[in-house]
Structure 1
Amino acid sequence: MRGSSDEGRIALLSLAFGLLATVLVLVVVSASAVHLQRTRLYAVADAAAADAADALDERSYYAQGVPGGTALLTDASVRGSVEEYVADHAGVAGVVVGAGTGTPDGQRADVELVVVTAPPFTAFVPARFARVRITARSSARAELR
């Protein structure tokens, strides 16, 4: 008696299912890696903003002659503090201090950090999708007591 007409189809379906499962695992792992990178970048941005809010620009502060004056921070003091913090403490490779880093009013430190990352397993996707740009923004208020 000859074999049934569906002989070999189970192997083909099993191969297709295994390939689909592998692709789904790779996508989930890559998405998780990007999410973890984003979470780390936000943590660095929050800490850098808090550090920058403490970076009193002594020159402009003492030039006002009034304790508790309005301009506690300058764009240069905030940017310098953030660059120093990122260089010393960044747990994310390739972090760049963005253009939005500075102070709008002399009392709030705004921080923008940017990183371009390549998710794992990007060898299998077109180059256009192989890079992900992550931007994290944070701010902290400087208060002198």
Structure 2
Amino acid sequence: MRRAAAGEDGQTLLLGVGLITVVLALILVLASASAVYLDLKTLTSLADSAAAAAADAVDEDSYFGGAATDAGPGVLSDAGVQAAAAADLASQPVELTGLQIAEAYSPDGATAVVTLTAHSQPPFLPWGVIPASGFTITATGTARATTGM
């Protein structure tokens, strides 16, 4: 009886170390996934902010000159949307790596569409498992210029 019990010595320690390793790995993977998710949410917020700023930047000549869209007077230009989006991003306190405007345009003269890209690097994942450069994340924001007409 004692001989059978002696064969089981040390097995609990090995099981405990294995369990702790698996739990620690899961915690690190969840923390890394959360970091990428928070970067994506930040990028989405920045894209929405840039699109809203671009929609507010109606060209003054077209607004006061009488040019009209279905939404009211004034027309958004692609150059105006690009400039307003860049100015809004410059005023934001962001810490995203590789943040840039992929495209900023107005498809119909009343809507501003801004697409941003950035890089996200999970802090705890081994670089042999994922690309060394991390992930490229993309977010698009859309805003419509209206005058309440």
Aligned to 1:65: 65
Partner AA of 1:23 in structure 2: A
Partners of 2:102 and 2:134 lie apart in 1 by 18
Give 1:107's match in structure 2, choosing from 110, 114, 124: 110
Identity of aligned residues (%): 34
Alignment pair present for 1:77 and 2:80: yes
Aligned to 2:51: 49
> What secondary structure sits across from 2:131 in the alignment?
helix
Aligned to 1:23: 25
Partners of 2:13 and 2:55 lie apart in 1 by 63
* RMSD, matched Cα: 2.2
Aligned to 2:7: 5
Classify 1:129/1:46 alpha carbon distance in 2 versus 1 (closer, same or farther; 3 Å): same
| TM-score, structure 2 normalization | 0.83
Partners of 2:95 and 2:82 lie apart in 1 by 18
Deviations 1:63-120 (A, max 9, x none): x9325x1351111110111111111115242311113x21101110001111111011
Partners of 1:91 and 1:106 lie apart in 2 by 29
Q: Could you tell me whether the CA contact under 8 Å between 2:39 and 2:96 is conserved in 1?
A: no
Aligned to 1:133: 136
Give 1:33's match in structure 2, choosing from 9, 32, 35: 35
Partner AA of 2:55 in structure 1: A
Aligned to 1:117: 120
| TM-score, structure 1 normalization | 0.85
Query: 1:130, CA displacement in angstroms?
Result: 5.6
Partners of 1:138 and 1:116 lie apart in 2 by 18
Stretches of structure 2 that go unaligned for 5 or more consecutive residues are: none
Partners of 1:46 and 1:5 lie apart in 2 by 64
Partners of 1:66 and 1:93 lie apart in 2 by 41
> What secondary structure sits across from 2:44 in the alignment?
helix
Aligned length: 141
Partner AA of 1:110 in structure 2: V
